[in-house]
Structure formats: C-alpha cells, structure tokens
Structure 1
Amino acid sequence: MKPLLRPSIVSHFQSRLSIFPHSVLQLPSESRALLFRQRVASFHASTHRQVPVPTAEALNWLEHACFDAAHNLHAASGIPWAYIIPLTAVGVRVLLFPFAVWNRRAQQRYLNIQPLLQAWLVKFRHSVYMNHAGSKDVAFLRRELAWQMAGRKKFLTKTWKCGWWRRSYHIFLQLPLFVSWAEVYRRMAGMKQGFFSELVSKAVPESVSAAVNPWLGMIFGEATSVKDALEPSLATEGMLWFQDLSVADPTGYLSGIVMGLTCLNVLISTRRAGKGRARINYIQRGLQVAVIGATVAVYPWTLGMPAAVMLYWASSLSTNIVSHVLMDLGWRLRAPPMAAKRKARIPTKIGGNA
C-alpha cells in the first residue's frame, strides 16, 4: 500500500513543526501568539514614509510659471496690461495649435473607420441571431452584440490610432492653461476668492459653498500670496470703458461679451461634431441643447469678476473661434460614405412597375 503523502512533503511539515517545541505548544494561547509575533520579522525595519499633504504652492507650479511669464513680458516690452492679457491668450492658443491639428487628424481617422464599423455591425448582428436563434431574451442578444462590437471597435481604433484620448486630449491640455492664467490675473487684481470659488459661491447655497470653498482653496490656492501677487498697475492700464482692470466692469458689457462668445463656441463645436458624426441620438442632442442653455448662466456668474479676468476670458474665446475657422479651412472633417438608411426597392417583375 502506497503512503498517502510523499516523504518529501512529510519532511517539509516536520521541519516546519520543529520550530515550535513541545513545551511551547503547552503554553496558553495568549503567550503563543505573543511569541509568534516576536519571531516574525517586519518587511522593513524603518518607519512608514510620511506622505506630505499637497499644498497650493506644490500644485500650482504652472500658475507660478504663468505669473512670472506675464510679469517678464510686461517689464521687457512696456506694453500696457490691456494688451498683454490678450497677447497671452493668443500665445496659449498658438502654442496649442499643433496639438489641435493632431487631434483633428485623429478625428478624421476615426470617421474613416465608420464604414468598417457599420459593416461589422451587420455581420455580428447576423451571427448573434443565428447562434442564438431559439433565444427570446432580447436583452441578452443586445448585450452579446454590444460586447462583440466593443471588441472590434477597440481593435480598429487601436490599429488606426484614433482612440478616445487621441481625439480629445487637446481639451485636457488647454483647460489647465486656461485656469492657470485666469488665476494669475485674479491674484494680480487682488481678488480674495478664487476663480472656481467665485463660481461655486454664486451657483450653490451658502452652506454648500462654505463647505466646498476650503477644498477648492487647498487645490487652486485660494487667498494665498494675494498681497505678493497684487499688481497696482492694473488700475491704470486698461482701455475703452474699463480703464481699471482690477475691479469688475460696472456696465456689465464684458460679461455679456463673454456669454455671447461662450455660446458661439458651443454652437461651433456642436455644429462641427454634427457634421463629422453619421448619426446623433436624442441623448447627445439633449446634452448639446443643455450645454447651450447653460451658457446663459455665464452672465450672472461673471458680473463680480475683475475686468482683467474677463478680458482674458473674452480673448481666449475669440482666439478659439479663429482657430476653429482655420481648422475648418485646412483640416475640414469629411464624413465617409455610409450605407443607405432605407433599403432599395427591387421590382417584383422584370419590366413592370416597382
């Protein structure tokens, strides 16, 4: 009769049990647990590393770089702040324009694979219905079809280098720069509340705003180094009807201009997306209408902001519109031919009416 365990396994367990003598096993459970903890070594003898809490100075390195760039440009050129602010907005857009071109090319490649996706959809639909002909679970059939289409779409977008992040990374590149420059001009104007805190305080109740503003202050540097960043020359280097850039526009015209430019940007973006997309469902159309309607709230939100921030916002939006026009002239999105939505009517009789 063969033994149940091999000799090597038995010797292995005997060597493990030899660590604990017979006298140790007779000790109380508390003593055995204490002795076992003393014999087990820690992974590392040093203390745990203390992770520092991120501060506004550490997180806003981009903001400090923008602050130094604005002051150096103003000191070197001697141009008033009313022209320096739009110049920085144009410079940011010019810097990001090559990324916008790469983004547009990825969008065009994504449009070019839409006929392939449509053809694979027909094939997968036929295969799913044939393989599960006896199934009456419509939800299961739809999940199976969606799973197969998701795999094919992932393969095609990876092959043609037109994934989601390649088509939209330009948005995530320009957002930190826009926020950083807006915060720079906010600090230079002496505004104690930050850009996002000002929007939150006007959009939500006071109880929610009081709870959210400290967290926004830690992230975006609210009320830190405001005295050091204050620029007195903003009060005398304005233009037109807003000669003082450190205070809000008393007429409210700048807020109206920003609201109109924001709405125009949204309309241009949605129109361009509608041309490049073969079909827009009701959910996407509803989101577009909601975003356009939300631009009306820009006017009351920005009434109390300094004219310097509003001037930068208006300049950035205007430059964005110009970049959209240039992109449409040089790299217009062209939708490929898709299959007909309605089936062709085949005549039942040769030579007869359809």
Structure 2
Amino acid sequence: MKYLEIQRLMRPFSNSSLQSDSKLRKLSFHSLHQTVVRKVIAPPHYRSFHQCISRPIYYEASQATYDLFQSIHSISGTSWSITIPLIALLVRMTVSLPLSLIQQRASCQQVKLIPILLAWKHNFRKETLHESGEQGPKACEKIISMKMRRKRNELFRRYNCGRWKLLLGFFQIPIFLGVLDVFRRMTDTKLTSFAQIFSVENMSDSQRIMLLEPNLANEGMLWFPNLMVADPHLALPFILSGTFMLNIFASGKSHLTLSRRQIVIRRGLGVAALCIGPLFLHVPSALLLYWISNSLLNWIQSWLVSWLIPISQPMQPLIPKKPWKITGLEEKELKFEKNPFL
C-alpha cells in the first residue's frame, strides 16, 4: 500500500522530468524518492537533522557557569552579596587549592635538592678544568652550566618535582576571567573599546547568551545596596588595591630571601596595585566584590599552604674561618681561576 502511494506521488514529477537531461532526471528522481520514503515509511520517532548556526564553546561554558551560579544562589538561599564570596570560595577550594599544593610540594622538594646540586657543581668544575681547561674560563663556564642543567633535570625528574609544576597556577587565569565575564554579563556591563578586541561577541553573532539578573540591583550589603552599579562611595576599588598589596607584601612566602631582581619585580607589582583603585572606579560592585573575595582568599590560601608544607631556607655551603691547607692540584686550580692563560 505504501509503495502504491509512493508511485502516485512521484508520477507527475517523472512526467515533467522527461524534458530535461537524463542525469538531471535521475538526480531529481532519486532525491524525491528519498524525501517521499522518509516522510511515508520512516517512523515518527526518527530524527531529522538540519543545518543550524553553531555556537562557540565559550558560549556553552558561560551558560553552564551561569546555571551553576543560579543553582548555588537558590540552594544557599542567601543574597547575592553573600553568594558571590561563596562562589569565590568554591572556586578556590576546587581549582586553586589543589594546584597550589602541587606547586608547594614541588618547590619544597627542589629546595631540598639544592645541596646535592651544589656538590655536583664542585665535581663538574674540577672535571671540566681537567678536560677543557685550555679552552678558557668562558668555555668552561658554558660546559659547567650545561652539565648542571642536565643534572638538575635528571634530579627533578627522579624526585617528581619538575619545573613545569611551578607553572600550574597559570591554569587559574582563564577560569578567573571566565567567572568575571559571567558576572559582567549578569550586570549588563559593556566592554571597553580595548576589551572588545578580545571579545567573543565580535567573532560571531552578538546574541545574549544569558539573562540579566535583576536581583543584583537590590541584594547588596552595607554601603553598596546595588551590585549592578559602581560603588557610590568609591571604597571598593581602593579596598581591592589594599588586598593586592596584602598579597604582594604579606603573603605566606614573604619570609623567604629574595634576589635583587625579585625585589624589583615585587616593587613594580606594588606600584601597579596602587593604580588599580583609580582605574576601577566605574566597575560594577558585583565584579569588585568577587575580585576582593578572591584576593582575600588567595592571601589566606598562601598562608595555609605555607603552614601545611613549609619551605625552609636551602642549606648554604660552609665558609671556613681559616684558610685551608691546599694540595698541589688545588693550587693549580686556583692559579688557573686567577689567570687561565698561564
């Protein structure tokens, strides 16, 4: 019965196709046959695929993050002024804290290996002076540095404290920026002209991927009741600068001895932290509240990790109070270090 119905539907199309080319007739007949069979014979639960505009992965991730924030807000039953620090705490506990523990263990193990590396450096120096001493001090230093680099990589690999583990903290940056962008969309804040260069909305259609959160307008706290606008008293931007200064100069690693380069970098970061306040005067309070909460939790986390896995100062080589009695071989080495061309 279904076959007769297919023949009846296809009869007028087959008569009209006699005037066209044979190849075109075969193609049209085949496509029409597939269409009719799909409509008549295919069961109703079969899916029909069609072309659609695919959304970027970033849109899907932002929508999932937005749904997660709404779930936390509804489950906790608190206002957004409490939910936002709670979200920062959850992100810290699930993402940042495990990575910080891995970094701290690797740093602690690397510090313990410093005396071994110093001992190997002494052996490499003596070995290089005997093998390549005639090439000059610069060539010897290059050879010693190459041997030390190989030995350091070997020890770090053996004790599972590779230098790549110290870079795990950079994985937090995309997550942090993604959360800030979700709060930006929830407050309907427009991007600046510079930030629009890196905006996903300029790469595809500018459709709204999440709804505006109107409860942010009346679920603030203290002197900032509206989280969708900037702080009317201009206090939150400078509080953010203070939390940055706290992380830079009073973190859990501030007791360690720093090199001159590290001191210069720290002072430069302090100057940049002071500039945060005037630059963020017009940022909505919701974004500043999350940033302040995240910065304070980072300071607490640094002290907690330093307390759980302390890093002691590396053992320094002993300096004798009186000059040692040197042998003939060591005397030749000292003469070579003073004047290698003798």
Same fold at TM > 0.5 = yes
CA distance in 2, matches of 1:245, 1:172: 29
Q: Percent identity?
A: 26
CA distance in 1, matches of 2:203, 2:67: 16
Q: Residue 286 of structure 1 aligns to which amino acid in structure 2?
A: V
CA distance in 2, matches of 1:297, 1:219: 29
Aligned to 1:148: 147
Q: Is the 8 A contact 1:261 1:314 kept in 2?
A: yes
Give the Å deviation of 1:321: 1.4
Alignment partner of 2:269: what SS? Answer: helix
Do structure 1's residue 323 and structure 2's residue 305 form an aligned pair? no
| Aligned pairs for 1:115-130 within 5 A | 115-130=115-130
Give the Å deviation of 1:346: 4.0
Alignment partner of 1:146: what SS? Answer: helix
Alignment partner of 1:133: what SS? Answer: helix
Aligned to 1:297: 275
Q: Is the 8 A contact 1:80 1:237 kept in 2?
A: yes
CA RMSD of aligned residues (A): 2.6
CA distance in 1, matches of 2:113, 2:206: 50
Deviation digits for residues 257-316 of structure 1 (CA, Å, limit 9, x no counterpart): 1101011112244x61662x6xx4332332222222221121122111110000000011
Would you say how many aligned residue pairs link Structure 1 and Structure 2? 271
Q: Is the 8 A contact 2:196 2:202 kept in 1?
A: no
Q: Residue 325 of structure 1 aligns to which amino acid in structure 2?
A: W
CA distance in 1, matches of 2:203, 2:88: 22
CA distance in 1, matches of 2:75, 2:203: 28
Residues 306 and 237 (structure 1), Cα distance of their counterparts in 2 relative to 1, 3 Å cut? same
Aligned to 1:71: 70
Determine which of 235, 243, 247 is the counterpart of 1:253. Answer: 235
Do structure 1's residue 337 and structure 2's residue 315 form an aligned pair? yes
Q: Is the 8 A contact 1:192 1:226 kept in 2?
A: no
Q: Is the 8 A contact 2:188 2:212 kept in 1?
A: yes
Residues 256 and 226 (structure 1), Cα distance of their counterparts in 2 relative to 1, 3 Å cut? farther
Aligned to 1:134: 134
Residues 251 and 158 (structure 1), Cα distance of their counterparts in 2 relative to 1, 3 Å cut? same
CA distance in 2, matches of 1:220, 1:154: 44
Alignment partner of 1:154: what SS? Answer: helix
Residues 343 and 223 (structure 1), Cα distance of their counterparts in 2 relative to 1, 3 Å cut? farther
Q: Is the 8 A contact 1:106 1:167 kept in 2?
A: yes
Give the Å deviation of 1:248: 0.9
| Aligned pairs for 1:1-354 within 5 A | 57-96=56-95, 97-136=97-136, 138-169=137-168, 171-193=169-191, 198=192, 209=194, 213-218=195-200, 224-226=206-208, 228-269=210-251, 272=253, 275=256, 280-340=258-318, 342-346=319-323
Q: Is the 8 A contact 1:192 1:222 kept in 2?
A: no
Give the Å deviation of 1:224: 4.3
- TM-score for the superposition, normalised by structure 1: 0.69
The structure with more radius of gyration: 2
Give the Å deviation of 1:110: 1.0
Q: Is the 8 A contact 2:186 2:212 kept in 1?
A: yes
Q: Is the 8 A contact 2:112 2:314 kept in 1?
A: yes
Q: Residue 287 of structure 1 aligns to which amino acid in structure 2?
A: I
Aligned to 1:38: none
Q: Residue 292 of structure 1 aligns to which amino acid in structure 2?
A: G
Q: Residue 230 of structure 2 aligns to which amino acid in structure 1?
A: A
Give the Å deviation of 1:343: 3.6
CA distance in 2, matches of 1:227, 1:68: 11
Give the gaps of 5 or more residues in structure 2.
1-53, 326-342
Deviation digits for residues 154-208 of structure 1 (CA, Å, limit 9, x no counterpart): 1111111111122331x12322221111111111111011xxxx4xx6xxxxxxx
- TM-score for the superposition, normalised by structure 2: 0.72
Residues 146 and 64 (structure 1), Cα distance of their counterparts in 2 relative to 1, 3 Å cut? farther
CA distance in 1, matches of 2:70, 2:206: 18
Residues 223 and 304 (structure 1), Cα distance of their counterparts in 2 relative to 1, 3 Å cut? farther
Aligned to 2:40: none
